[in-house]
Amino acid sequence: MPSKRVPVNLITLPVRHLPPVQAIGRRIAFAVGLLVFTAVVVYIGRDGYTDTSGGPIGFLDALYYASVTVTTTGYGDISAVTGTTRLAALLLITPARILFLILVVGTTVEVLTERSRQVFLAQRWRRQVKDHQVICGYGSTGQAATKAVLAQGADLSTIVVVDSVPAMVEQATENGLTAVLGDASRVAVLRQAAVGSAASIIVTPNRDDTAVLVTLTARELNPDAHIVVAVREKENIHLLRQSGADAVIDSSAAVGRLLGLATHTPSALQVIDDLLEAGTSLELAEVEPITGDDGRLTGPPDASLIEVLRNGDRLPVGHPDTMVLEPTDRLVVVRVGRR
């Protein structure tokens, strides 16, 4: 049987939505409040109203008059005859009537135009978004990657999630992220996420073959983006690099090394846990050299230097070339994490 195709052009922007029952209940309560308010105004000034039946105006009559007034039915059987009640109708009842109509008409218009509004917001978002980060796959790995990106100082508005599972898209928007529902291996879906103008792309699918296809598609749409991919099988690392990935993380091997480390050096594992967990006491960072008091380039005083990145080469601490830093060097350091 042919696989079910996920619809395209379903960008979901983060918006706080009330549950449908609660939203409808609030509107009904507001409408009833306007009706009661109008009835109270009429009842207070009941001596200034006349009824065609000739009887006195009771609260039930006032409620009846309020209902036909705010709905603009207006049978004319109860009328304001004094200057005071006519002034009250002008200043109090007429605004209530207008608010009631706005409430009723607004609800209908909102239902009819919600889809158009979403399309308009999505188009405006695509025109404005630039240098953002796209995360393909919002499973456990994708969510952890998102948390790490945010811990590095990224803003929620600069992250876009792409996932083919509606529940994951809904969870992403509830977390304040922009999300696209669709298969990330399709060109049309990645274009909805504005991959062409993205600064970086994180690929975290459940299968390595999907990761290869997503990476190929993303690299075709954006030759300059920094693409990071999670892979499950080590033998597929070279395929992802050939597909255009700048960095490939072997998740299975990484977990295995941590398990082995936990067996023999549990204290060291705690340090690694702090480095991997965003927002904890320690974090890895890549920074530029700073000028020290003696005028020489050095690392940040509040961080421990691990490696120097120079012209694509990794120079560990203690290497002769790291004794004198260059302005173009990038320093990999361990520092106290941001909470």
What is d(CA 230, CA 71) in angstroms, rounded to the nearest whole number? 61
Order of strands, edge to edge, in the sheet holding 313-316?
A: 282-287, 330-336, 303-310, 313-316
Contacts of 122 (CB under 8 A, 6+ apart): 9, 11, 13, 192
Residue 319 pLDDT: 61
Residue 212 pLDDT: 93
Report all structural domains of the chain as residue ranges with CATH numbers, in order of start.
Answer: 16-128 (1.10.287.70), 133-254 (3.40.50.720), 281-339 (no CATH)
Query: For tokens 């691990």, what's the residue?
Result: 306
One-letter identity of residue 105: V
Residue 162 pLDDT: 94
Residue 24 pLDDT: 66
Query: What's the predicted TM-score (pTM) here?
Result: 0.59
Token code pair at residue 260: 């082995």
Within a 10 A sphere around the Cβ of 280, how many other Cβ atoms?
15
H or E element that contains 163: strand 159-163
Cβ–Cβ < 8 Å for 188, 7: no
Digit-coded pLDDT (tens) for 37-46? 888 888 888 8
Residues of the chain where predicted confidence (pLDDT) is lower than 50:
1-9, 339
One-letter identity of residue 309: L
Residue 187 pLDDT: 93
Phi, psi of 23 (to 5 degrees): -65, -45
What is d(CA 197, CA 218) in angstroms, rounded to the nearest whole number? 11
